Amino acid sequence: MQHTDDAAIRIEHLSAGYPGRPVLCEVSATIPRGQVTAIVGPNGSGKSTLLGVLAGTVTAQAGTVHRGTARRPAFVLQHTAIPPTLPITVREVVAMGRWAHRGPWRRLTRADREIARACLERMELTALATRRLDTLSGGQRQRTLLAQALAQESDLLLLDEPAAGLDEASQAEISRALAQISAAGVTVVQATHDLDEASRADHCLLLREGRLKAAGHPEKVLVKA
């Protein structure tokens, strides 16, 4: 897998949190371009807050975040966030990714539909395109949400515990999908408490009590987790 050495994101002396509740304190880190970075740490360590800062939904209280990515990040929902009884097909879910460009009330163009079709194919969902979400496994639903994010054509994909609640085979399936996405040049950042999942990433950030404790290759970082 070929990657460039430059950074997709540089975080410098970042502090962030919520009213009356500071979470991140003086975090400085680099997220490499076109690789899978896993943010690990115990519950309450600041993983989701850091993702929120990168997504633009949490405001930094101090410090800076320099993005080398050109487009708005795509945030991938957990498969459990979608009501299983929602009467919607895989193709319709993926096409919703184009709303970021078109708006929810405007007709999708032929080009939009072609992008959605290509994303279905990339996530090996073409055969499931007409299936309803409530007929899919957790892993298939998560791949559908990955395809929806890809349809936004972002160069930065953010995920919060994408393998949570999935069986081992489905977790491996999601890891393979993320590796495939990053190999195509997209920067992938996922928060996870699963050390097996983190070990399959290219790069790791270890948070503890809102501070960065280690960063680098998973083999070096996870022994400190």
Tens digits of residue pLDDT in 5-34: 589 999 999 999 998 899 999 999 999 999
- Number of residues assigned to the chain: 225
User: Residue 104 has what pLDDT?
Assistant: 63
At 92-126, the pLDDT tens digits run: 999 999 987 776 667 889 999 999 999 999 999 99
**Structure letter (DSSP) for residue 77:** P
Quote the CA–CA distance of 136 and 156 in Å, as a whole number.
26
User: Residue 20 has what pLDDT?
Assistant: 87
Is 177 in contact with 123 (CB distance < 8 Å)?
yes
At 162-219, the pLDDT tens digits run: 888 888 888 888 888 899 999 999 999 999 988 988 999 999 999 999 999 999 999 9
The answer to pTM > 0.85 is yes
User: Residue 91 has what pLDDT?
Assistant: 95
Residue pointed to by tokens 């050495």? 5
User: Residue 1 has what pLDDT?
Assistant: 36
Quote the CA–CA distance of 183 and 164 in Å, as a whole number.
23
User: Residue 53 has what pLDDT?
Assistant: 96
Q: CATH classification of 1-71+188-225 is 3.40.50.12280, yes or no?
A: no
Smallest CA-to-CA distance from 38 within 146, 138, 166, 178 is with 178
**Can you tell me whether residue 212 is helix, strand or coil?**
strand
Quote the CA–CA distance of 170 and 143 in Å, as a whole number.
10
Query: In Å, what is the CA distance from 181 to each residue of 14, 26, 59, 63, 186?
Result: 28, 31, 28, 30, 6
Task: With cut-offs at 50, 70 and 90, classify the pLDDT of residue 156.
Answer: very high
* CB-based contacts of 4, cutoff 8 Å, min separation 6: 33, 34
Tell me: pLDDT of 3 over 80.
no
* CB-based contacts of 116, cutoff 8 Å, min separation 6: 91, 94, 95, 97, 98, 108, 147, 151
User: Residue 80 has what pLDDT?
Assistant: 76
Smallest CA-to-CA distance from 146 within 170, 110, 111 is with 170
At 32-78, the pLDDT tens digits run: 999 999 999 999 999 999 999 999 999 999 999 999 887 889 998 77
Is 33 in contact with 187 (CB distance < 8 Å)?
yes
Quote the CA–CA distance of 41 and 56 in Å, as a whole number.
21
